[in-house]
Structure 1
Amino acid sequence: MVSASEWAAPSTRTELIENLVSGVDRYNPNNVGILEDYLYHQIRSQEYDCLANLAILKLYQFNPDLYNPDVVINILIKALTAYPFSDFNLCISLLDERPFPTNPDEPDPLPSLLPILTSLYNLLQQCRFPAFWALYRSEKAESLRDNYTVECVGFEDSIREVVIRAVTPAFKRIGTERLATYLNLSDDDLTIYIEKLGWSLENGVATVPPNPDNQIASTVVQENIQLTQLSKIITHAQVAV
């Protein structure tokens, strides 16, 4: 999982972007094009920089004329892959409740896709992974797949990493049939994926390597009470009587 420091300042962030995100130019609308280009670099390279993307949404909030729905959708798609961090909710909080632009020549795709993206996020949050894939593969999400996630390099694998982050602390062993529904993989693809994780596989069961969260360990609590402490208790009891 990404550390908090890496989340706040990714190692892939350039000095130029660092200055835009952390300096006084953060709210300069003239820089929105640079930040948007950086977002599309993230889409193509599997990199991710939440604070830079939030800076775009903040500029849209202050300058409604800069609003670009395709950029907003791509920001939300990248935020989906960051779960369990609350990036998606942070992005949603900056969208406001202002009315969407109504241009018949250029219809805004965000109003129709936002409920789908929100539902996908909620399903991830609830660890309802088979339901997530069912919605994502459904006709309802066809526009999202065909126009957006298809351009986001490694999107599905990033979601699978989210799944693995949830499975690793919760299971010591998990059946491949169940795991296949979580990862939306089957047969050889699932076997290859399990091997890449370094998990062992035997008789249709994958063994999750031991980690602090999936191991049951007894805890012995030992208290040391000094005689002087007991004498104080007895003295207080006598006074109370």
Structure 2
Amino acid sequence: MSATATWVSPSTRPELIDELVSGVDRYNPANGGILEDYLYHQIRSQEYDCLANLAILKLYQFNPDLYNGDVVINILIKALTAAPMPDFNLCLALLGERRPYPESDDDEPDPLPSLLPYLTALSELLHQCRFPEFWKLYKSEPLAPLRENYTIECLGFDDSVREVVVRAVRAAFTKIGKQRLSNYLDLDGEDFVSFVEDVDWSLEDDVITIPPNPDNRIEATVVHENIQFPRA
């Protein structure tokens, strides 16, 4: 199955969710709870379904009274790890300009406005392949609420970010220095060695070798052009 087909219809999507996402029922506010439960299943199981999560944001767009800031943050966290796919920006587009949503007097403060600029910055760093800066920001004091209240509940979040790193390194390198890759992955020691072995890369003399793939192989291409000039 192609990457696009997997994005549109992941193999882990339940039949009920597939029916909701594919039909007009995705606009039925009564189904919001079902889609939110499915999001939290993704959080707990390391699965991911962007279209189902976008359907939640669309419901919030049409029905502001359904809005849940915690749900939106979890959707954005899952979208972060889809880089370089544009999932995060798609989510932002559906949030639109209607933030912040109205709150009643006895509601807790919406956590989204304070975390959204940081989540956006994290997304930009991943798309720019500035991985050491990503880890530095992610582990900074201002993002303690994100780590302690959200990503701690998201199974395998750090490893999912490292998969983003692996995709980028695979596409750009045939060899990379150990220290450089260690900074990219935010791993060292035995954890680093184990990770390199798990992705089938080889480590020798502080240099990691990445096996050839269609993205990191440079092949010369000869272009023949047949240009005909009109006769006088």
| TM exceeding 0.5 | yes
The 5-angstrom pairing of residues 63-212 of structure 1 reads 63-100=63-100, 101-102=102-103, 103=105, 105-212=107-214
Paired letter, 2:231 = A
| Mean CA deviation greater in 169-178 or 1-10 | 1-10
Please give the per-residue CA displacement for 1:187-233, whole angstroms capped at 9, x wherever unaligned.
1100000000101110111100011222222222345x5xxx96xx4
Matches of 1:98 and 1:222, distance apart in 2? 55
C-alpha change, 1:144 and 1:2, in structure 2 (3 Å) is farther
Counterpart of 1:206 in 2: which secondary structure? Answer: strand
Aligned to 1:52: 52
Deviation (angstroms), 1:99: 3.9
Matches of 1:3 and 1:215, distance apart in 2? 21
1:237 and 2:231 matched: yes
Paired letter, 1:208 = I
Deviation (angstroms), 1:105: 4.4
* Residue-pair matches, total: 230
Paired letter, 2:33 = G
Indicate the percent of aligned positions where both proteins have the same amino acid: 67
Paired letter, 1:10 = P
Matches of 1:190 and 1:21, distance apart in 2? 39
Matches of 1:221 and 1:119, distance apart in 2? 42
Matches of 1:80 and 1:187, distance apart in 2? 27
C-alpha change, 1:99 and 1:8, in structure 2 (3 Å) is closer
Paired letter, 2:163 = E
Q: Could you state the TM-score of these two structures normalised by the residue count of structure 1?
A: 0.91
Counterpart of 1:94 in 2: which secondary structure? Answer: helix
- Greater Rg by CA: 1
Aligned to 1:220: 222
C-alpha change, 1:55 and 1:86, in structure 2 (3 Å) is same
RMSD: 1.6
Paired letter, 2:118 = I
Paired letter, 1:180 = S
Paired letter, 1:182 = Y
Matches of 2:201 and 2:17, distance apart in 1? 38
Q: After TM superposition, where is structure 1 displaced by more than 2 Å over at least 4 residues in a row?
A: 101-105, 220-223
Matches of 1:212 and 1:81, distance apart in 2? 23
Q: Any unmatched runs of 5+ in structure 1?
A: none
Counterpart of 1:201 in 2: which secondary structure? Answer: strand
Matches of 2:88 and 2:107, distance apart in 1? 29
Matches of 2:224 and 2:25, distance apart in 1? 56
Deviation (angstroms), 1:128: 0.5
